[in-house]
Structure 1
Amino acid sequence: MRKLQGEMDHFLRKHFAFLASFWNKFLPNGVPNNHSLDFLEQDLGSLNPTLDPKDPGPSSSLFGVLYDFTARNADELSVNRGDKLCVLKEEGEYVLARRLSGDPVVGYVPANYVSKIGQEPVAQPVWYISGISRNKAQILLLSSPNRHGSFLIRDSESNKGEYSLSVRNHAKVRHFRIYKDPGGSLYLEKEHMFSNLEQLLAYYTVNWKVIQSPLLQPCIQKRSSEADQWERPRSEFKLWRKMGEGCFGEVWEGMWKNTVPVAIKIMKQVNMRDDFAKEIQNLKSLKHTRLIKLLAICSVGEPVYIVTELMRKGNLHSYLNSIAGKELTKHHLLSISCQVADGMTYLEEQHVVHRDLAARNILVGDDLACKIADFGLARLLKDDIYSTSGNAMIPVKWTAPEAAVYQTYSLKSDVWSYGILLYEVFTYGQNPYEGMTNQETIQQITRGYRLPRPNNCYPEIYSIMLDCWKANPEDRPTFLILREQLFSIYKWAPHPFS
């Protein structure tokens, strides 16, 4: 028996040399007579490590540790966040790895505790936030408790495999693209290349003047269940009357808990989830009397509900085309125009571009109160310009030419759309460029054509429309100026009851 145990000890030490520290600790002088090997055979057999770490072969890869992990048995390897590992083999939910720092010990680590270096940052996940958009990053950095100098790194939305650095600079957020060259090096500027994100951050933390934005502390994510404060069970809502529908789904008048009248926007298509998330985030963060107020959401399961305050007269375009809408006076139309300008001035102050400003997205209440809605396309701007790409549907006849042709949006492209909205208001809901296709509309606009003055329109209002439709975006007025001009006209315009 002693001979057999000695041969077993020799066999284990020879074929599992990478567990030398284990053997030395538990079997320093060979296998004692009274020691059973049953527990060793059971543990080692469960995961069956068979690779020699001294010769990992071409299939091995360099990984980084995302979280601390304490071994639970002899097969497993205790690691700390930031450790570098050579992964020898992947086995289901585990990887067999050799630690590169300290003793070159080999063992198993849960696969979700590690990440391949060069694919995701691993040493300091506190500053890396995956799966968030540029818009969400900006909202997060501008929210409490973050402050000037807060920063994060996120995945690039437009360039797969690359990253973006987002930094709060006082009341604004600046975004920097982190490029990756063919060799895997990362850089903001080609003259300063780095092998990983940690080195890049370390450099710009010291040399922050290069990007004119100090990197003072990683972004802090709120741990509170903010979504739960808005999320309500679908059973609390009853649908009464369909008010309208569009490509997203339907809008219904309904009742919340049988007591509160509400409007319920139902998004039926699964592929509209991104638009839903953007609209919800904007409704949560933007608060103004001329913007529709969010009350609740139902995002668990299908269909998705966005629940807002009820505006009983529906959207402005439909209302203007109704019998009641046709009876509105010029003074009423001016009031509507002023209210929308007031809401858009607030969005301008928040540096938010709506991108879909039109009468169909203005909601009307019983007292002719108007509120801006449909924030699914709204975006926070970088500097003064936002560029998009893809095959998203664009409402061409309401869209500024630079946005329709080049997908370049700005607050001034919203000003163009506001001019079209004024045309809708003073024509009682007439569609702009009637009889023209989208392509014909763009061709005519680029040649200098502008919509004619509506019959029921003050010359001063039409002059404002033309200012909104200046070919050069910089020549168009701001919403602050538009609001002042419209309020001034509203004050001197004849009142219907005077």
Structure 2
Amino acid sequence: MDQFLRKHFAFLTTFWNKFLPHRVSNSCPLEFWEPVDGSLHPTLDPDPEEPAFSLFGVLYDFTARSADELSVNRGEKLCVLKEEGGYVLARRLSGDPVMGYVPANYISKLSQEPSAQQPWYISGISRTTANHLLLSPPNRHGSFLIRDSESNRGEYSLSVRNHTKVRHFRIYKEPGGSFYLEKGHMFPNLEQLLAYYTANWNVIHSPLLHPCIQKRPTETDQWERPRSEFQLWRKMGEGCFGEVWEGTWKNTVPVAIKIMKQADMRDDFAKEIQNLKCLKHTRLIKLLAICSVGEPVYIVTELMRKGNLHSYLNSAAGKELTTHHFLSISCQVADGMTYLEEQHVVHRDLAARNILVGEDLACKIADFGLARLLKDDVYSTTGNAMIPVKWTAPEAAIYQTYSPKSDVWSYGIFLYEVFTYGQCPYEGLTNQETIQQITRGYRLPRPNSCPAEVYGVMLECWKSHPEDRPPFHSLREMLFCIYKWGHYPFS
């Protein structure tokens, strides 16, 4: 009954769709209902020579339930004459030319256009480009391609290499959809046209032997951008690696630009770039672009306007922070380090100077994976490595044995920095004296503004044996509980 109403009162389609929804077969795959990317081209106008009928393929079996419906089987081809609501009036092309109604969602329009998967079809190229492609190695005599016609929209051209020259043939398209080179030889699609002229190449005096081979374009790094796209505005910091500037990308997007001046540090920065590309987390600084062609090298990241946390803690705004703020910072960094730990990445230089601060006290970890970055007096050379001794676990400082557990030790030192407003740890001690004191069991005292619960977390981080230190996900949970439920006297 509902089909009858739909067909004979099509002007009430909206009403029928609301109160008499179509029943859809359970066998219909979900992907059938999803739009296909690229199936519509909004910049193209409809073909003014659209024929009065369209060719469709049957997607699912349908059994007629009344005399005016048409039974069809999956794979059959139909000529659709008109649409009425949720149905189409169609004529079967195979067997008896019977007409009838078929549900519109059981069929799909057939395309006579060449598929991008066809090796011989290259879209969007000019006659000149076709010449260049076919005359370039590894193409040779008999190489061919089909391209879009430059002068006749909706039609095509066949380009064939004949020894040292390229010949071009216009492929005409009839209003009904057939293709031809010569009026007497019509073909329903380009595949059959090519098959005919491959077998009868003497008609065009050019053999069709090999589809054109396109040279693969040189692979370029998706992150690589020309240096001219960036403008430097204000220097934010400087160290042994170079400088960090606030700037803009294409005069609109605010960015931070790390400039590497020393050519001998390219390997270090290559490692940092790889880490930035592969690691994605809200508490890690985000890579936007790189400029590695020529000198100097730029590493372009999101801009954190308040700079590094160490400098911020020492600023007037930093001096106004409370214990509640410190715990928020600590939780954010623990969250980012938990992600690095899960990805089996060792930071090696976790410290307040390598945490960047943005709006609303948002903190992000930077420079993960590098062992030397900022001021020379922070680092001590051991062999060929420069390490920040006062932030480094004893097993890493003495034996260069790094692990997530050595990062946990550094996180304890980071907490000390935060709760002392950026005070240098082990102040007054040299690097050598610091290692000696640590190995004898000395630990930094509890800062005045630090709750006892947080100092307990620090001591857990500073256990002598790495295996006794908690993982970052446990540190994150402990600090979050203190942040959420703790009642501390210092605020």
Give the TM-score normalised by structure 1: 0.52
Contact 1:278 1:375 in 2 (8 A): no
Q: Which residue of 2 aligns with 1:332?
A: 325
Give percent identity, aligned residues only: 87
In the alignment, structure 1 residue 273 sits paired with structure 2 residue 262: no
In the alignment, structure 1 residue 228 sits paired with structure 2 residue 221: yes
Contact 1:467 1:476 in 2 (8 A): yes
- SS of 2:334 mapped into structure 1: helix
- SS of 2:248 mapped into structure 1: strand
In the alignment, structure 1 residue 287 sits paired with structure 2 residue 280: yes
Q: Which residue of 1 aligns with 2:246?
A: 253
- SS of 1:418 mapped into structure 2: helix
Q: Which residue of 2 aligns with 1:471?
A: 464
Q: Distance in 1 between matches of 2:455 and 2:318?
A: 20
Q: Distance in 2 between matches of 1:401 and 1:484?
A: 25
Contact 2:232 2:248 in 1 (8 A): yes
Contact 1:243 1:252 in 2 (8 A): yes
1:368-387 equivalences under 5 Å are: 368-377=361-370
1:318-357 equivalences under 5 Å are: 318-357=311-350
Q: Distance in 2 between matches of 1:478 and 1:310?
A: 30
- SS of 1:289 mapped into structure 2: coil
Out of 279, 295, 299, the residue aligned to residue 292 of structure 2 is: 299
Contact 2:231 2:249 in 1 (8 A): yes
Question: What does the per-residue CA deviation read over 1:17-43, in whole Å, with 9 as the maximum and x for residues that have no partner?
Answer: xxxxxxxxxxxxxxxxxxxxxxxxxxx
Contact 1:312 1:366 in 2 (8 A): yes
Matched residue type, 2:429: M
Shift of 1:245: 1.1
Structure 1 pair 229–303 and aligned structure 2 pair: CA distance change class (3 A)? same
In the alignment, structure 1 residue 415 sits paired with structure 2 residue 419: no
- SS of 2:387 mapped into structure 1: coil
- SS of 2:359 mapped into structure 1: coil
- SS of 2:360 mapped into structure 1: coil
- SS of 2:361 mapped into structure 1: coil
Q: Distance in 2 between matches of 1:228 and 1:405?
A: 39
Q: Distance in 2 between matches of 1:226 and 1:283?
A: 20
Out of 408, 432, 436, the residue aligned to residue 439 of structure 1 is: 432
Q: Which residue of 2 aligns with 1:242?
A: 235
Shift of 1:226: 6.6
- SS of 2:243 mapped into structure 1: strand
Q: Distance in 1 between matches of 2:316 and 2:398?
A: 37
Structure 1 pair 357–225 and aligned structure 2 pair: CA distance change class (3 A)? farther
Matched residue type, 1:458: P
Q: Distance in 2 between matches of 1:272 and 1:225?
A: 26
Q: Which has the larger radius of gyration?
A: 2
1:127-276 equivalences under 5 Å are: 227-276=220-269
Q: Distance in 1 between matches of 2:269 and 2:254?
A: 22
Matched residue type, 2:230: F
Question: What does the per-residue CA deviation read over 1:149-205, in whole Å, with 9 as the maximum and x for residues that have no partner?
Answer: xxxxxxxxxxxxxxxxxxxxxxxxxxxxxxxxxxxxxxxxxxxxxxxxxxxxxxxxx
Q: Which residue of 1 aligns with 2:310?
A: 317
Structure 1 pair 249–393 and aligned structure 2 pair: CA distance change class (3 A)? same
Shift of 1:366: 1.4
Shift of 1:443: 0.3
Question: What does the per-residue CA deviation read over 1:348-394, in whole Å, with 9 as the maximum and x for residues that have no partner?
Answer: 1111110010000000001110000013427xxxxxxxxx9841111
Matched residue type, 2:400: Q
Contact 1:243 1:253 in 2 (8 A): yes
Contact 1:264 1:305 in 2 (8 A): yes
Structure 1 pair 348–376 and aligned structure 2 pair: CA distance change class (3 A)? closer
Q: Which residue of 2 aligns with 1:178?
A: none
Contact 1:331 1:494 in 2 (8 A): no
- SS of 1:323 mapped into structure 2: coil
Q: Which residue of 2 aligns with 1:140?
A: none
- SS of 1:230 mapped into structure 2: coil
Q: Which runs of 5+ in 2 are unaligned?
A: 1-215, 372-380
Structure 1 pair 427–224 and aligned structure 2 pair: CA distance change class (3 A)? farther
Contact 2:261 2:296 in 1 (8 A): yes
Q: Distance in 1 between matches of 2:411 and 2:470?
A: 11
Structure 1 pair 295–436 and aligned structure 2 pair: CA distance change class (3 A)? same
Q: Which residue of 2 aligns with 1:101?
A: none
In the alignment, structure 1 residue 308 sits paired with structure 2 residue 301: yes
In the alignment, structure 1 residue 458 sits paired with structure 2 residue 448: no
Structure 1 pair 489–443 and aligned structure 2 pair: CA distance change class (3 A)? same
Q: Distance in 2 between matches of 1:409 and 1:420?
A: 16
Matched residue type, 1:358: A
Q: Which runs of 5+ in 1 are unaligned?
A: 1-222, 379-387
Structure 1 pair 451–353 and aligned structure 2 pair: CA distance change class (3 A)? same
Structure 1 pair 495–261 and aligned structure 2 pair: CA distance change class (3 A)? farther
Q: Distance in 1 between matches of 2:482 and 2:239?
A: 35
Contact 2:451 2:488 in 1 (8 A): no
Structure 1 pair 376–410 and aligned structure 2 pair: CA distance change class (3 A)? closer
Give the TM-score normalised by structure 2: 0.53
Structure 1 pair 389–433 and aligned structure 2 pair: CA distance change class (3 A)? closer
Contact 1:276 1:376 in 2 (8 A): no
Q: Distance in 2 between matches of 1:285 and 1:323?
A: 36
Contact 2:292 2:298 in 1 (8 A): yes
Contact 2:346 2:369 in 1 (8 A): no
Q: Distance in 2 between matches of 1:364 and 1:278?
A: 23
Matched residue type, 1:493: G
RMSD, aligned α-carbons: 2.1
Q: Distance in 2 between matches of 1:404 and 1:495?
A: 34
Q: Distance in 1 between matches of 2:451 and 2:217?
A: 52
Q: Which residue of 2 aligns with 1:484?
A: 477
Q: Distance in 1 between matches of 2:317 and 2:352?
A: 16
Q: Which residue of 1 aligns with 2:389?
A: 396
Q: Distance in 2 between matches of 1:375 and 1:274?
A: 15
Alignment: residue pair count: 267
Matched residue type, 1:260: V
Contact 2:284 2:364 in 1 (8 A): yes
Q: Which residue of 1 aligns with 2:188?
A: none
Shift of 1:228: 2.5
Q: Which residue of 2 aligns with 1:99?
A: none
